[in-house]
Every structure is written in C-alpha cells, then in structure tokens.
C-alpha cells in the first residue's frame, strides 16, 4: 500500500498526528505493535493511573472526610478487584474510542511491529511472523518510551515492579517501597497509601518532584506525610532483592551510612527511556543519543533523514501526553505546508496527587539562575471560600511576574483541581498577559480559580483581597 504518511506508534503523539494528517487530506496509515491503540498513555499510563487515583480518592474521602460533612458510613470497605476491573473498563472504553476515530478518519490501522526497510518503506511484522510492506512519502516515528531502571536493579515484574505492574496488582501492598520521588511514583504511591499501604519513598535528590518549583515539592511532601507516606530524601539506593513475598531495598543515607527497608513490593519509578527497539533505525542511518536513547530532531521535528519525523517521548523534552499531542499536530501541519508553532516553555506539568500540583513557565530557581528580576505573589487555599466549603485547605497558587513589565513568567500551584486550573495560566501566558490583566478579568465566585486572581493581585502591589 502507498500512503502520504505512515505513523509508527499509536500513543497520544501518533494517533493525534494520524488524525490531523487525515483531516488535512493525506492518505494515512498507523502501525501499532499491540492489539489496542492509545500507547502508554491510554493503556498503562495517564488513563489507568487516573482511574485508580479517582477510586482510591473516593475511598479515602469516605474514610476521612465524609464524617465532617455529616455523612455516616458503617463498615466501610473497598473491593480492590472491582477497582482494577473498573480501571480496565475505563482503559477499554478509551482505546476502543481511538479505534473508532481511526475508522471515522479513514486511517488504515496495521497491527504489528513497524520497521524501516528504507526511508519510505515500512515492514510490518505481525505476532505470527507474517510481514507486509507499506510505503509512504513521509514517516512519523511516535514509538514512545518504556520504564527505565537502575543498572544494578533487576525488575522481576512480580515483587520488584514498574508503574505498568503497579496498575494491575492483585492485592494492596502492605509496605510499598518506592524508588524515586517523581510524578509517576508519587501518583501511584498515593493510590496505595490511600488504600492503607505503608509507602516509603527513597529519593536521591533532596526534594520530591525535583524538576518543579521547590515550594511545590515542599508543600506536597507535607500533605503526603499527612497521608502516612514516609520519605528518605538525599538517599541513594544501592540494591533491591526479592525473596518469596519479601523485598529488601538497600540504600545509603546522606552521610554514606548503609540502611535497608523491607516490604512486600518495590516500585522502581526512576524515569522512562525512549523506545526504539525493532524500528531498524540503523537501516536509514539514524543514531540515537547516548543518554536517554532519544532520536535527534531539528526544530521542525525532522530527523537527519528527510521526510522522517519523530515526536513525543521518543524525542527530547518533557515526557508528557499533551506535549506528544502538540507535536503530532505540529508535524502533520508542517507536512501539509502550514507554519505551526509550539511554545515549549508553556507546556504545563501536572501531578495528580490530592491536592493536585500544576505548573507552567519558569520556576523561581530558573529565574534566579537567568538573572531575571521578578515579583512573586502567593495565595493560600485556606483563605479561599470555595476551598473552605469543600474542605480542601492545603496548598497555594504562586504567580511569578516580570519585575519591570508585569508579564507572567511562571505559575506554580498545589491545590484542589490545580490540573484544570493551570489552563488559565497557560492561556494567559500564551497571550503574554500581565498579572494585572488577570486581576481585571472576572472570576466566578466561589471557585478555586479565584486563588489565581488573588495570587496575581498579590504579585501586583501586594493587593490580594482575602488575605
């Protein structure tokens, strides 16, 4: 078959690229090695983790928040099997939704591993070994990523696991030892902490979510401690072994003294690495970067081979679904001759703990490092009427604005529905709004979004109203 575009990989980067190509009139094929579409995000990432986060949050609220609302529940219990079943139903509904979208947009789906024969020809090899060849003028590589590990750790997928296995456990761990205090680990750690597991986090850096503004990490750690999670920061893991139902994790404390923890599960959440196995990149002369194994691309997301593009987790930048989606649209429009643009500084980052954490733009640390003069305004949720009503008093919104022009340079929030609220900050910053601009826009009362306006008021002449 001859196509205008072949997309390899059906995650949020790949399927969005395919749909946009089809919308722009290109004959499009998508190649996916698994039987279901949607990639990491829909199958073993964003969607299943959020389904479990929601279920465990309902349970946690029933156990800890309902009584103060005057709701009495006797003999509260959870059915973990049902939570996992529901999670799978959510995943299935989403992945079949993508199959529907492929049909609707007349995109041919080829199941099998896609591999370059040459820059225009892809061999698709099915699980039974049968191979077919398809050709296209342009190829978009969207093969994503897989969990990485530490060189000395053997992940047995039974007791020493990654996020993928943590989404399909048969039981709630008694003691989950988490290696890595980043987004994926903390989200899944909080699922199990809410369901009663003891969760210990061992992190090499001196704070959790270390790539985000330091203030967010400190506040999140306080909240997660209230949930019972314990933290070993600045500690270096040296080994993990499993024997029967028991895992032992050894690590050095900041003084270099040896320590160990015993639990029944150890989840390794130390990041992800680009996935290019079986793609046959060597056949077309593409060499991956040594660190992270990412495919090098230029500013048009084109590889060193003309007509071969790469997007999403497999290239540089944040490993986030919406970044992959934006790049999918970008490449499709570029191939169609348009002039698309992505502002990489305005890709929001979110942690779906409760309260949620969300941020966009520069952190205070980055502004200091760049020598940019800025003003900061914060507003705590404990002063928000909406947050009082719901009982979500932890967290704050912090706005960083240019000291001279008042342009918003960064927004960092931890609080109820921060994942949704960050959209206001992204839009404001896309339009290069000043903090004053946001203060002048009406915000419905009572809403959590008022905290954004108040933080902007605080950033402009310290004139927040409710604090």
Residues with catalytic roles: 445
For the record, the structure tokens of 384 come out as 């928000």
> Which region, judged by CB under 6 A, interacts with ligand FAD, from 34-42, 67-75, 434-442, 457-465?
34-42
Q: Which of 8, 53, 199, 308 binds ligand FAD (CB under 6 A)?
A: 8
What's the CA gap between 167 and 263, in Å, rounded? 18
Q: Does 180 bind ligand FAD (CB under 6 A)?
A: no
Q: Which of 228, 239, 278, 385 binds ligand FAD (CB under 6 A)?
A: 278
Q: Does 329 bind ligand FAD (CB under 6 A)?
A: no
Torsion angle in degrees (nearest 10) through CA of 421, 425, 428, 430: -120
What's the CA gap between 68 and 391, in Å, rounded? 9
What's the CA gap between 207 and 182, in Å, rounded? 9
Residue 116 makes CB contacts below 8 A (sequence gap 6+) with 122, 123, 139, 279, 280, 281, 283, 284
Q: Give 139 or 240: the residue with its C-beta nearer to ligand FAD.
A: 139
Half-sphere exposure of 259 (CA within 13 A, CB side): 15
Q: Give 39 or 416: the residue with its C-beta nearer to ligand FAD.
A: 39
| Bond prior to 446 in cis (omega within 30° of 0) | yes
175 annotated as ligand-binding:
no
Q: 302 forms bridges with which residues in the sheet? A: 309
Cα-Cα end-to-end distance for the chain? 65
Give the strands of the sheet with 408-415, arranged side by side. Answer: 349-351, 356-361, 408-415, 396-402, 374-380
Q: How many residues bind ligand FAD, per CB under 6 A?
A: 37
- Name the minimum Å distance from CB 310 to ligand FAD: 9
What's the CA gap between 115 and 122, in Å, rounded? 5
Q: 237 forms bridges with which residues in the sheet? A: 251
- Name the minimum Å distance from CB 345 to ligand FAD: 16
Q: Cα dist. 103→33, 107, 108, 224 in Å? A: 18, 6, 8, 44
CB atoms < 10 A from the CB of 429, how many? 20
- Name the minimum Å distance from CB 74 to ligand FAD: 34
- Name the minimum Å distance from CB 279 to ligand FAD: 5
Q: Which of 18, 237, 320, 401 binds ligand FAD (CB under 6 A)?
A: 320
114 annotated as ligand-binding:
yes
- Name the minimum Å distance from CB 250 to ligand FAD: 25
Q: Does 208 bind ligand FAD (CB under 6 A)?
A: no
Q: Give 47 or 455: the residue with its C-beta nearer to ligand FAD.
A: 47
Q: Does 353 bind ligand FAD (CB under 6 A)?
A: no
What's the CA gap between 436 and 418, in Å, rounded? 21
Q: Does 39 bind ligand FAD (CB under 6 A)?
A: yes
What's the CA gap between 64 and 227, in Å, rounded? 10
Q: Which of 10, 28, 55, 329 binds ligand FAD (CB under 6 A)?
A: 10
> Which region, judged by CB under 6 A, interacts with ligand FAD, from 6-14, 55-63, 247-255, 357-365?
6-14
- Name the minimum Å distance from CB 205 to ligand FAD: 20
149 annotated as ligand-binding:
no
For the record, the structure tokens of 425 come out as 């900050």
Q: Does 84 bind ligand FAD (CB under 6 A)?
A: no
Q: Does 149 bind ligand FAD (CB under 6 A)?
A: no
Residues that bind ligand FAD (CB under 6 A): 8-14, 31-34, 39-41, 45-46, 49, 113-114, 142-145, 163, 184, 275, 278-279, 312-314, 319-322, 324, 352
Binding site members for NAD(+): 180-187, 203, 271
């Amino acid at each position: 078959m001859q196509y205008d575009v072949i997309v390899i990989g059906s995650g949020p980067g790949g399927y969005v690229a395919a749909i946009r190509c089809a919308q722009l009139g290109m004959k499009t094929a998508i190649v996916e090695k698994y039987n279901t579409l949607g990639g990491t995000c829909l199958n073993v990432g964003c969607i299943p983790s959020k389904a479990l986060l929601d279920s465990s949050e309902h349970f946690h609220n029933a156990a800890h928040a309902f009584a103060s609302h005057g709701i009495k529940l006797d003999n509260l219990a959870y059915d973990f099997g049902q939570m996992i079943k529901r999670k799978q139903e959510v995943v299935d509904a989403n992945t079949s939704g993508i199959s529907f979208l492929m049909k609707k947009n007349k995109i041919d789906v080829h199941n099998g591993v896609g591999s370059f024969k040459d820059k225009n020809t892809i061999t698709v090899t099915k699980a039974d070994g049968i191979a077919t060849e398809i050709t296209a003028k342009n190829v978009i590589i969207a093969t994503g990523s897989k969990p990485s590990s530490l060189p000395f750790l053997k992940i047995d997928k039974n007791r020493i696991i990654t996020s993928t296995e943590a989404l399909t456990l048969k039981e709630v761990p008694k003691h989950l030892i988490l290696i890595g205090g980043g987004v994926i680990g903390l989200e899944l750690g909080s699922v199990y902490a809410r369901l009663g597991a003891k969760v210990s986090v061992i992190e090499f850096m001196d704070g959790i979510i270390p790539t985000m503004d330091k203030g967010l990490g400190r506040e999140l750690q306080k909240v997660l401690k209230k949930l019972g999670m314990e933290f070993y920061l600045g500690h270096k893991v040296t080994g993990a072994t499993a024997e029967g139902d028991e895992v032992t994790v050894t690590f050095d404390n900041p003084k270099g003294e040896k320590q160990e923890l015993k639990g029944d599960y150890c989840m390794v959440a130390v990041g992800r690495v680009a996935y290019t196995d079986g793609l046959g990149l060597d056949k077309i002369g593409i060499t991956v970067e040594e660190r992270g194994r990412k495919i090098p691309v230029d500013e048009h997301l084109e590889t060193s081979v003309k007509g071969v593009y790469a997007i999403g987790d497999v290239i540089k930048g944040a490993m986030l679904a919406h970044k992959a989606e934006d790049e999918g649209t970008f490449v499709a429009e570029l191939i169609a001759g348009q002039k698309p643009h992505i502002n990489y500084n305005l890709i929001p980052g979110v942690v779906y703990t409760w309260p949620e954490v969300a941020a966009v733009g520069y952190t205070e640390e980055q502004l200091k490092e760049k020598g940019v003069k800025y003003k900061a305004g914060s507003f705590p949720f404990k002063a928000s009427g909406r947050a009082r009503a719901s009982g979500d008093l932890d967290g704050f919104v912090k706005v960083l604005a240019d000291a001279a022009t008042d342009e918003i340079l960064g927004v960092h929030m931890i609080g109820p529905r921060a994942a949704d609220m960050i959209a206001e900050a992204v839009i404001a910053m896309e339009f290069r709004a000043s903090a004053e601009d946001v203060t002048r826009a009406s915000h419905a009362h009572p809403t959590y979004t008022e905290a954004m306006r108040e933080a902007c008021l605080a950033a402009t002449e310290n004139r927040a109203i409710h604090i």
